[in-house]
Amino acid sequence: MVALYLNRATTGRGFETVRSTLFYIPAELLGVPVFGVGWVLAAWVVFSLALLSWLWSRPSGNREAMGYLPFVAIVAAVIVFLLPNLVVRNAAGQALGVPIRGFGVMLMLATVSAVGLAAYRGWQAGIDPEEIYSLAFVMFIAGIVGARLFFVVQKWDEFAVFDANDALQLAPTLRKVFNVTEGGLVVYGSVLAGLPAGIWYCLRRGLPLLVVADVIAPSMVVGQALGRIGCFLNGCCYGGVCLTSSLAVTFPAESPPYREQEVQGWHSGVWLEEKNGAIVVAYVAPNCPAKQRGLKVGDELDAINTVAVSDLAQARAALAMKTELPNKHFSYAVRKKGGEVIWWEVPQAPVRSVPVHPTQLYSAIDAGLLALVLWLAWPFRRRDGEIFALLITLHPISRILLEVIRSDEQGFWGTALTISQWLSLGILAAAGVLWWYVETNSKNQRTKEPKAEGAVT
């Protein structure tokens, strides 16, 4: 049941984090499949029939019921065709069930919290909460699709599955693409797809666009704050190596930061950095045999695994060239400046990553504070659109700064700026245009809230 625990690392630096499955939904119950054509589908059919019957009983409910039919059909298709493919099996081939991941749970909490907050604020602004629920559904579906597509395009090499003839295997590739519960969503991808969908819905329903934008602005960052906690549980969206702060965290083997570090030689238990033009040992894993052989933090190296090294990329590549021994251990050798050679063998790779910045938590705190600012700014707005303009002004600035200490994205367009930083600059430019429009349009005045009983203004 425990998704995460925090305790002082044995190194005395930072914290250790554990990502684990909250629980498994069994694949079968009383001999009947839970997913596919089974219990979940039966429950969904009963619920859908009850919901549709209730809608049809309302005045003008036929139109609402017909509007829900595509959603009902999509969920049924997911239950029948997608969920059975998410069943996890152990090494013996026994079905454990569908794992409920911390990321998926936080995504659900983020959605519920964001929609509830927007519905309440919409009611204050005189907008029917039902309109907010429908808007949220449209933006959620578009946002999830956009966020996932953005991530898949960025990390295509991690999703594509090829056979021995280098032919793309469609079924396993799609399974990885649709396995959203384990993470892999890009916030800006959801914005690029969700906002146009929201604008389309508002125009179609005749809703005041700027008022709706102000209503949903705090919800957008509340959802992000909770979603980033899910990223932390999953290990994605991680920060760069941090060896100086007690707030740094380590992630387990097979996590995204560990996998990135492993291809840079971390399997050896030694982490290298470049300092004043020299290759130095920056960190050694607890209980690493290299320590017992005399290798310590600060040692300068000029050769690794018989390869003379002069820059960091070359040094890390040489360290990643491990030699397997007959006993299945791996051996490594380094030469210090001065000529001393240290050799060690590793019976097992480190179980934790090198400490990194918990940028997911930084982002969660940043988004939570921004949501509070936007919520409290509501009574002080002079014109419709100012709350949303404030959102797209402040958030890109913090995102640009946070990207500096993240290491899961590379520079884009031949620059040191990541794609998220480029998009942040574009959003800042859009914020300038929006501020100009909001403040110079003489017809755009703050919409007065209705004097509804119990409404908070």
The model's pTM is 0.76
414-445 pLDDT, tens digit per residue, is 777 888 888 899 999 999 999 999 988 756 66
pLDDT at 347: 86
- Check whether 369 has a pLDDT greater than 70: yes
Mean pLDDT within 99-118: 86
pLDDT at 442: 58
Residue pair 185/151 in contact (Cβ under 8 Å)? The answer is yes
Question: In this predicted structure, which of 9-13, 270-274, 352-356 has the lowest mean pLDDT?
Answer: 9-13
For tokens 């396995």, what's the residue? 179
CA dihedral sign, ordered 406, 155, 23, 136? positive
Q: Which range, 63-72, 103-112, 132-141, 399-408, is most confident?
A: 132-141
pLDDT at 279: 93
Mean pLDDT within 132-136: 90
What are the extents of the domains in the chain? Answer: 7-22+101-239+357-440, 257-346
pLDDT at 87: 81
DSSP string, 341-380: EEEEEESS--SBPPPB--HHHHHHHHHHHHHHHHHHHGGG
What backbone phi and psi angles, to 5 degrees, belong to 307? Answer: -105, 120
DSSP string, 298-323: T-EEEEETTEE--SHHHHHHHHH--E
Residue type, 278: A
CA 318, CA 315: separation in Å to the nearest integer? Answer: 5
- Check whether 59 has a pLDDT greater than 80: no
Q: Which 3 state secondary structure label does DSSP give 276? A: coil
Mean pLDDT of the chain: 83
pLDDT at 9: 39
CA 24, CA 44: separation in Å to the nearest integer? Answer: 20
CA 36, CA 32: separation in Å to the nearest integer? Answer: 10
| Ramachandran class of 414: left when φ > 0, alpha when ψ lies in -120 to 50, beta otherwise | left
pLDDT at 197: 92
Given pLDDT bands bounded at 50, 70 and 90, which one contains residue 183?
Answer: low
- Check whether 15 has a pLDDT greater than 70: no
| CATH class of the domain comprising 257-346 | mainly beta
pLDDT at 370: 97
Q: Terminus-to-terminus CA distance in the chain, angstroms?
A: 42
- Check whether 380 has a pLDDT greater than 80: yes
pLDDT at 71: 78
- Check whether 91 has a pLDDT greater than 80: no
pLDDT at 457: 37
Given pLDDT bands bounded at 50, 70 and 90, which one contains residue 397?
Answer: very high
- Check whether 12 has a pLDDT greater than 60: no
pLDDT at 392: 94
pLDDT at 443: 67
219-244 pLDDT, tens digit per residue, is 999 999 998 988 888 888 888 899 88
Given pLDDT bands bounded at 50, 70 and 90, which one contains residue 175?
Answer: confident
pLDDT at 418: 81
CA 289, CA 204: separation in Å to the nearest integer? Answer: 66
- Check whether 364 has a pLDDT greater than 50: yes
Burial, 24: exposed, middle or buried (Cβ in 10 Å; 0-12, 13-18, 19+)? middle
pLDDT at 17: 55
Mean pLDDT within 400-425: 80
DSSP string, 237-265: S-B-B-SS-TT-EE-BTTSHHHHHHHTTT
CA 270, CA 296: separation in Å to the nearest integer? Answer: 9
